[in-house]
Amino acid sequence: MNGSTVSLKVKRRKFVVMAGQSNVFFGAKWVRDNIGMPYVSFDPRLKQLGDNTTGEFRDRIIPLGNFAQNNAGDTSYASGWVSKLAGLLLNHNDGATPLIGRYDELIVAQIAIGSTGWTDGRWRPSGTLYQSFLKKIRILSTEHNAECVGIFWAQ
């Protein structure tokens, strides 16, 4: 090694969960069609979670995600609200330490929840959607080493 050193920089990742279903889709589409994405200017630290049906986590730069609801598989439909929220969080990153703490990346985890009436067995603790949701949170926390700073639930 000749005395050389290797410097490893661990990214400080934060994530915020935006969970919702169709109620989010409609307004987001209007925002896209009529006023675009006015809330968040381009910021390379801001990413969103990709397809949550396959467990694949594809980073996308907001607001470039699509808005297909696609049977609640592609969760980008929440972008209207997510962008607003993320923009607010980022705005507090000017100068002083932001309320959510310093970070290198802010991941917006848009997770489709489906069957939100809670009458479906999938949303009982042993249910498939319930467990799937928890799994995604666990992966974000462990494999992505990200720290959750908030959960937004659109029933």
In the complex, the residues that contact other proteins under the rule CB under 8 A are 17, 22-31, 34, 80-81, 84-85, 88-89, 99, 117-119, 123-126, 130-131, 133-134, 137-138, 141-142, 147-155
Query: How near is the Cβ of 23 to other proteins at its closest, in Å?
Result: 5
To other proteins, the closest distance from the beta carbon of 107 in angstroms equals 14
Round to whole Å and give the CA distance between 35 and 111.
24
Cα 153 vs. chain centroid, distance in angstroms?
Answer: 12
One-letter amino acid at 94 equals D
Nearest distance from C-beta of residue 2 to other proteins, angstroms: 36
Instruction: Pick between residue 68 and residue 99 the one whose CB is nearest to other proteins.
Output: 99
> In terms of C-beta density within 10 A (0-12 exposed, 13-18 middle, 19 or more buried), how is residue 123 classed?
middle
